[in-house]
Amino acid sequence: MVASVAGAVVGAVVGAVTKNVVAQVVKLVEKRCELWKGFPNDIEFIKRELLMIAGAEEDQISGNGAHQSVVKMVSMEEMRDLAHDIEDCLDRILRYTAEGEGEAPLLHRLKGPPFVTEVKQLKDRLKAAHQRKVDYNVNGNNNPGTSSTTSLVNTDTACWVEPVGIDQPKRELLELLLMKEVEDQQEHLNVISIVGFGGSGKSTLAKALYDCPDVVRQFPCRAWVVASEHRGNSKGFLTALLENLRPGGDPTMGGLHQLQYDIRNYLNTKRYLIVFDNIEEEQWDCVKSTFPEMTRSRIIVTTRTQAVAEVCCNHGNNGFVYNMRTLNEKHSMELLEVILKRHLPGLEQSSTVIVSKCDGHPLALVSVANYLLREKQFTETDCKNFWRHLGSHMEKEYAFTKLQQVLMSNYRSLPSRPVDLKTCLLYVCVFPNGHAIRRSSLMRRWLAEGYVRDSDPREALVVADKSLEELLDRNIIRQIDPSKNAKVKTCRAHGIMHEFILHMSMSAKFITSLRDPQRRNYRHLFMEGCPATSTSRVSNVNNRHTSPSNAGTSVNEKLRAHSLTILGRVGEAVVDFAKCELLRVLDLEECKDLEDHHMDGIHKLWHLKYLSLGGTISRLPRKIEKLHCLETLDMRKARIETLPVEVIKLPHLAHLLGKFKLGKRDLKMSELGKFLPPKESNLQTLAGFITDNNPGFPMLMLRMKKLRKVKIWCHDDDSKSLAELSTGIQKFVEHELDTSIGVRSLSLHLRHCSGNIIHSLGNSFGYLSSLKLHGALSGLTQFATSLCGLTELCLASTNDLISNDMTNLRRLMHLEYLKLVKISLGGFSIRKRDFPRLLRLCLAQCPTLPTIENGALRNLISLQLLSEHLGADLPGIEIRSHEHLQEIVLDSEINREAKIIWENAAKNHPKRPRVLYLRRVDPDEMGSMVKYVAAKTPAPDETVYSVMQEERQSSAAQPISDEELSSALKDADGAGPSMMPSSKFPSAMNNVMPSSSRVVS
């Protein structure tokens, strides 16, 4: 298994590096290397050979856990190092050719490249490495230690331990399983999906329900099918189902259609419960047509993939999705104690670290506890050493065999095309375990590294977005805070998965700490110092991410890293980025030791594509214009108020983020050519700038034809400046009116100067997909209604909007998201025909709320009422009329009675939408008027549940009685994990259930 783990990573890294090499070759051909006789042929040879080798490596590691021989591993490592050397060489050639553009063509031709010898040597090394693969039969089937067959391991088999705290989550699912049908409605099939990361307890929860005596009584026909045992074998899958339904029955001799017919015919007159454990979409597609629709039967499916859960639950539109939730600290400790069953000296002091590192993952906790059974003591020092070498323990120790299989299965399941998601996942380890990763920053870093690409640079972010969504869909990456459109705003890897892939990355020389003595040979470096105000005794337990303040590189050492991420206080090591001449990504956003003078040499990092700076930086050096390749400059946390004009001249700059203005100078139209590249600007994101009496940015916007996202703070009432601003905005919204495709966003923060631009903007006509208006907005809603393609609108008003302003909004027929902040909506009524496509409605800090007519907003899936003064009685809003409602979002500070009433109302809704709570925080430095973040779900208590029980009579779909529930819960001796509702799907009472899992799958 050791060779297999390392081989999987090496292959993924080689493949990613090779794709970067090819991208560099394309750029090289575009330069003037064709003047150098014979040189392009050598480059082309290297390109072809590396592509073939990368393909061969990917084929070799695509097997499900096949062991790799030592010779194979040595060969793969040799190819990885060679690919790195080739890429480094190409980087230097690219810089040479780009900086030589000013030379006379004849002189450049006569001078010749200084890299001919180096390229020929690389070519010879590549040929020799290829010959060694032949000589040692590297790809043969007779290598020592290589198995000719691959065994499939079922990673979803439950690991049974003594159950703890099963009552509440089991009660929740039993209510759905045993729910009585509504008298005036026909019987129908219901599907329940249990979805979560591998090892989170999906199968065990399903098993606890399946074996419940009350379930057995109400469903006389039952079947349990482990779908993962029949992947790629539809006939075997259906045969297993039929054999489980009628044990001992005559086997079916026909094909798929005959099996489907026999299953449907057998189930046609029965009330049944079927569990499909670890199902895939292909299997569901094969079996779904066999189920009779008009029945009081139930189906439970478990899956790791959100999309599969959705597909299954959309069958007949009667499904529910349960997302597994990690264990809290209390239950994590209980699980450790259940397995250990004895006092282990030192565990009290080290338990916090164990709980933190396992991150509430049941299988990880079980594995660690089983490992600790052999220990006589486990002090804090022992604990730190254990986690430092966790990867080695997982490779060698039997206690971690199951955990490693589950984690490796999650990793291997990731596709390599069109984007290599394995490499994208490995890259997440440049951030510390538990660190909140901003979605947009991660995607732009992927782009800068070349791990995500598209032939159209403007669509590259879309590809990156889809890649991240797939990792989220597979529950490998976890969301922290959702944004307005239900997309994840911040995320992080599962704690135990992070530890696993970090070990893999370090073994493959992909990622390591800046304090690692072997750092020179790694592509990505990180360092986490002590936070400025850290008081946590467990904040820096992972020495792989921490470093003493004097841990820096030697003076003359050159590092070949492509990225460097520094967090916290690291002392003198802060200047080590100057030794990384080939950096593409430099993330100093949370570095506490960086000072302005440290930035004076930043221009030497010619290859830099992504640069982020933190709150210790107040200026940029003018030589920043030499960062020829820079694509993203993120200054959102920096104190930079004035932006050097030289930044605008950067030829490849696509994303400029912060809050800044241009220096004081009179910029005329005739001078624009001096401050922008010879061709039109490549800038896509300008978010954003402050307007004053300098019309610089509004005038420059006229030349920025590729802009997709613009954010503006209007701080000046000067009529000339506002006229320039209006013109710039008009040109921006008009630019893609003919195509009306893609995401185009405008955020405009006004003070009391809106009256001076209302006239010009109110008559505009153009295309935007997203519009945010903050400030004095009276009369400005006409601008929103004049736009085509508007799907997202946010209005935050500091003055009273007149009724006509709100009436204008009725014309927005394509709106999918509407957010109104600090707007009095008394007297405003949303009618049946208003906002026919609206999916999400957010009303934040609104003194009065609107009336929603019965039958209006039929497609609404999310209702957000964010006010701490919200009461339980809203006569103008009846949630039962919104038949597709999936979530209700409330302010966490509303009173307890209101919480109970809203939770009860959600439970009595036919779709049982989840109830979420957000916490209001002070606006950040970027000028937000109101900001909310995820709040901890209120802890349930008996009072809450009893109140909900008393009001159960108002439910249209009557749940089972208390007596029936009590009977069903007498057998609560299985272990079921706690659940958190999906961000996309409805669920029952998820908001009031505690975590209680003790068994894992």
Which tens digits make up the pLDDT trace of 7-52? 555 555 555 555 555 555 445 544 444 445 566 677 667 666 656 6
- Is the four-CA dihedral 976, 977, 982, 987 of positive or negative sign? positive
Comparing 239-253, 324-338, 676-690, 934-948, which segment has the lowest mean pLDDT? 934-948
> DSSP letters of 712-732?
EEE----HHHHHHHHHHHHHH
Question: Which two tokens mark 782?
Answer: 């006409």
Q: Which DSSP string do the residues of 335-375 spell out, in sequence order? A: HHHHHH-S--TTHHHHHHHHHHHHTT-HHHHHHHHHHHTT-
DSSP 398: G
Confidence of residue 466 (pLDDT cuts 50, 70, 90): very high
Residue 758: CB partners within 8 Å, gap ≥ 6? Answer: 779, 780, 782, 783
For residue range 228-255, list pLDDT tens digits in order.
999 889 999 999 999 999 887 777 777 8
Q: What is the pLDDT of residue 540?
A: 43
pTM: 0.84
User: Mean pLDDT across the stretch 507-513?
Assistant: 88
CA 853 vs. chain centroid, Å, equals 37
Q: Judge contact between 573 and 552, C-beta under 8 A.
A: yes
Tokens in use for 73? 């591993």
Looking at this protein, which amino acid is placed at residue 831? R
Q: What is the pLDDT of residue 171?
A: 78
pLDDT at 468: 93
pLDDT band at 57 (very low <50, low <70, confident <90, very high): low
pLDDT given for residue 122 in this prediction = 82
pLDDT, mean of residues 923-944: 56
Q: Which residue has the tokens 């009350």?
A: 214
Write the burial class of residue 741 (CB in 10 Å: 0-12 exposed, 13-18 middle, 19+ buried): exposed
* Higher pLDDT among residues 673 and 283, named by residue: 283
Question: Which positions ≥6 away from 266 have C-beta within 8 Å?
Answer: 242, 245, 246
Instruction: Tell whether the model's pLDDT for residue 886 goes beyond 60.
Output: yes
The pLDDT, as a whole number, for residue 840 is 94
pLDDT (tens digit, 9 = 90+) per residue, 627-647? Answer: 989 999 999 999 998 888 888
Closest CA to 380 of 356, 353, 350: 350
Mean pLDDT of 743-759: 74
Predicted confidence (pLDDT) per residue in 290-302, tens digit: 998 788 899 999 9
* Residue-level pLDDT at 15: 54
Residue 691 has pLDDT above 70, yes or no: yes
CA distances for 622 relative to 420, 625, 627, 677, angstroms: 37, 7, 11, 16
Please name which of 299, 228, 278 lies closest in space to residue 475, comparing C-alpha atoms: 278
Which whole number is the average pLDDT over 884-908?
Answer: 89
Sheet of 488-493: strand order equals: 437-438, 488-493, 477-482
- pLDDT band at residue 115, thresholds of 50, 70 and 90? confident
Q: Chain centroid to CA 364: how far?
A: 22
pLDDT value at residue 870: 86
Q: How far apart are alpha carbons 281 and 301 in whole angstroms?
A: 11
